Amino acid sequence: MKRLAILASGSGSNAEKIMEHFQNSEIAEIALVASNKADAFVLERAKKFDVPTFTFSRKEMDAGLLLEKLKEENIDWVILAGFLLKIPIELTKAFPDRMVNIHPALLPKYGGKGMYGSFVHEAVKAAGETETGITIHLVNENYDEGRIVFQASTPLTSEDTPDSIAEKVHALEHKHFPEVIEGLL
């Protein structure tokens, strides 16, 4: 049984879909939900599934506290689901090809530092794109540059707004992220 940790910084809708997906799984369990924000709603979502939670600051993460906790919990895979901090290189090295992230655009477009959430959807709208989507990729030491393992797209029209684009992207995330994670395991 693989032990998974989810790292998230916000609401945690993707984390909830992942916890739901693996709730009665025979191949993996969500062993930990960790956040850099003590008031992140993802921590409440974890309680619904009786998943232990852990909070930490950027300084604590950079000092190795998160890595220590992941080792202590015997974590096999780390899932980034709306986690906004850059992962320290020691952490990526500890989970080579066993750390996965989801990005709300079709990488390599609209990736990199500062490109998350509504910022991505606003950029997609401003560029007049006719499609957008999601990218699920392995994590390395650079923002959004790890090996792509899955992409799904959705068409856009001129009537789409950043909010409607976000809704379309969330639908793709919720549909595909848990299944892709299972496939990687």
Binding site, annotated residues for (6R)-10-formyltetrahydrofolate: 58, 101
What pLDDT score does 162 carry?
A: 96
Quick: pLDDT tens for 61-108: 999 999 999 999 999 999 999 998 989 999 999 999 999 999 999 999
Report yes or no: 141 and 109 within 8 Å, Cβ to Cβ: no
The two tokens of residue 184 are 């990687």
- Identify the band that residue 116 occupies on the pLDDT scale cut at 50, 70 and 90: confident
Cis bond upstream, residue 178 (ω within 30): no
Quick: pLDDT tens for 23-62: 999 999 999 999 999 999 999 999 999 999 999 999 999 9
Binding site, annotated residues: 12-14, 58, 101
Residue 112 has pLDDT above 90, yes or no: no
Query: How many alpha carbons fall within 13 Å on the CB side of residue 77?
Result: 22
Query: Active-site residue numbers?
Result: 103
In order of start, what are the domains of the chain with their CATH numbers?
A: 1-96 (3.40.50.170), 102-184 (3.40.50.170)
Can you tell me the distance from the alpha carbon of 172 to that of 36, in angstroms, rounded to the nearest whole number?
A: 25
Report yes or no: 68 and 60 within 8 Å, Cβ to Cβ: no
